[in-house]
Chains A and B, each alone.
Chain A
Amino acid sequence: MALKPDIKILIVDDMSTMRKIIKNMLTQIGFTNISEADDGATAWPMIQSAIKEGKPYEFIVSDWNMPQLSGLDLLKNVRATPGLEKLPFLMITAEAEQGNVVIAVKAGVSNFIVKPFSPQVLKEKIDRIFK
């Protein structure tokens, strides 16, 4: 793995099943420093706190459809924050409609992945984002 294994990653998904699956995949790929949030609304303060502590997240993996703060709104918050304009942000969705993809790209998403996906596909996406 070209990336350092302890890159600070935040998984954001309201389904704990999905968080476990994604965490397992990231662990399989070789990553070791993985945190979880159960909604965009939970993730956003974690992202802000991490900045204040001087240890910002280096990669966000977020679901789109969440009850309180969607992945898209979380992405917009991130991109509107000085210093986070280029933070790698991978959006996960169960279904990708063209309009949604374009909206997310306009909002600054780094890449998109559609459920279900394999560790290999996830790795390819990560490689593409960090190349």
Chain B
Amino acid sequence: MNMFNDPSMKEIVNDFCDEADSLFDQLENSLTTIEEDPSNTKELEKFGQVIDRIMGAAKSIGASEIATFCELGKVIGYKSSQVTDVPLIEVVVAILFDSLHMLRKMNQSLREGSDKSMNKLNTKAFVTRLNWLSEKFKDIERASCAIENTKANLSQNSIDELMKSLGL
């Protein structure tokens, strides 16, 4: 789905941009709180929850670059909420601030409906940074709002198989 060229998607995309802007403000508040107190891991968990919500909607409207950023931000947020290494948390916060800045720009490009303005943003370099940071937490399994120990993510087909095996 290319949201830039589909008039029927315009209203939904505009709604997404408005909602995302509001949630970016929440993310920024969370990061400011963590910056002031890097031991506040609950706020990192909250960061993960909020960015998770943006990710789901971004995926659904086909805003894949925003979704990728949010997915990495979510993993980093949830995983870093499970560590107590303050210097590492400070690096996390700095990179997440930069990523949030980039997310705002990407959202603005989406609102303007221009492929060109999106292409001007050097998102690949940021994704590389986020992946690098995500690797720092590779030994931590929980990367979502799971409430018990979890393993790998499942595709829709795998879920269907699992549901079948569970009698549904």
Contact = CB atoms under 8 A, between A and B. Distances in A.
Interface of A: 14-18, 20-21, 24, 63-65, 67, 70, 72, 92-103, 105, 110-117, 121
A98 B152 contact: yes
Contacts of B143: 97
Given A16-B19, A121-B156, A21 B61 contact: yes
Contacts of B168: 105, 110-111
B146 A15 contact: no
A97 B19 contact: no
A114 B150 contact: no
Contact of B145 (A14, A17, A21, A70): A70
Interface residues of B, number: 36
13 contacts: A15-B19, A17-B61, A24-B12, A65-B52, A65-B144, A70-B145, A97-B143, A98-B151, A98-B152, A99-B149, A105-B168, A114-B154, A115-B57
Nearest to B60: A116
Contact of B146 (A67, A99, A116): A99
B159 interface: yes
Contacts of A24: 12
A114 B159 contact: yes
B53 A14 contact: yes
B74 to A, nearest CB: 8
Given A20-B15, A65-B52, A121-B156, A97 B150 contact: yes
